[in-house]
Amino acid sequence: MGFWVALQFLTIFPVPRRFIAKMEHVGESVVYFPIIGLIIGIILALLSIALSYVFPRQIVSVLLVIALAVLTGAHHIDGVADTFDGIIAGKSKAERMTIMSDTKIGTFGITAIALVLLFKYSTLVVTGGIQPLILMTVLSRWSMVSILFMFNSAKKSGMGFAYKQGATWQRFLMATIITLLIAIVLSGWNGLILIMLIWLLSFGIGKWVQSRIDGITGDTCGALNEINEAMTLLFIVCISTIERLYFG
C-alpha cells in the first residue's frame, strides 16, 4: 500500500482505485520515496537516450527539465514558490505560515522557481549521461524523508504532518539503505560521498526553515526536493572535477 501511496503523491501516474491514498496509509509511504525517485530517474534516462539521437545536449536538458516537471505534476515546484514567498517575505511565524498557505505566488516565489530551474538546466548540460539523472531523483526524494525524520512539523494537520508522523527511525533507516545501495551501484564510493553531502545540505536547510517557522511543512519538503535535484548534479560535477585535477 505504501508504494502506491508514494507513487500517487510523487508522480502523476494513475494508481488502481483500491490503492487510493488514505491518511492512515500516508506515513507508510516514506520508505518508498527513493524507489519512486528511481522510477522517475530511469524514465528520464531512457528519454535522454532517445532525445540525444535527435537534439544537442542543451535542448535535451531543457526537455528533461520539462519532462521532470510534468512527471511530478510540478508538485514540488509549487512548494518552492510557497516556501520562499512565506519564509522570506513574512515578518513573523504566523505571517509566514499564512503566506505559505496562500494560493497566490509572489516575487520571491517566482524568482526562486526561475533560479532553481535554471540551475537544474545548467548542471544537466554539464553532467550529461544517465547516472546523474537517476542519482538526482533518488537522493532528492530521500532527502525529504531525512528532514521529515530530523525536524518537527510546523503544523499539526495536513499531508506534511501525516508524513512526519510516518517518518519513524525504522522507515528512515530503510529508505537510507535503499538509497545507499542505489547510489553505490551507480557511482561506487562517490555515491556515499553524495549522500553525505546531500544530508548535510538538507540538515542546514532544515535548521534554517525551523528557525523561521518552528518546523517543516509539505511545502518545505517539496522545495528541498527541487533544490537537492540541482545540488546533486552540482556535487557530481564538483567530485568529477576534483578527481580529474588531483587523481588524474
CA neighbor of 173 nearest in space, from 27, 30, 24? 30
User: How large is the average pLDDT for residues 114-136?
Assistant: 94
CA neighbor of 167 nearest in space, from 149, 185, 154, 146? 149
Assess if residue 248 is contained within a domain: no
Assess if residue 81 is contained within a domain: yes
Assess if residue 163 is contained within a domain: yes
**Average predicted confidence (pLDDT) for the chain:** 91
Assess if residue 47 is contained within a domain: yes
Assess if residue 245 is contained within a domain: no
CB 194 within 8 A of CB 47: no
Number of separate domains in the chain: 1
Angstrom distance (rounded) from CA 40 to CA 22? 23
Q: Where in the sequence is the domain holding 38, given as residue range(s)?
A: 2-235
Assess if residue 156 is contained within a domain: yes
Residue 75 has pLDDT above 70, yes or no: yes
Assess if residue 244 is contained within a domain: no
Global confidence as pTM: 0.93
Give the largest Cα separation in the chain, rounded. 55
How many residues in the chain? 248
What distances in angstroms separate CA 216 from CA 93, 121, 182, 196, 203, one per listed residue?
12, 27, 27, 21, 12
Assess if residue 152 is contained within a domain: yes
Tens-place pLDDT, residues 147-199: 999 999 888 777 778 888 888 899 999 999 999 999 999 999 999 999 999 99
Number of H helices, E strands in the chain: 12, 0
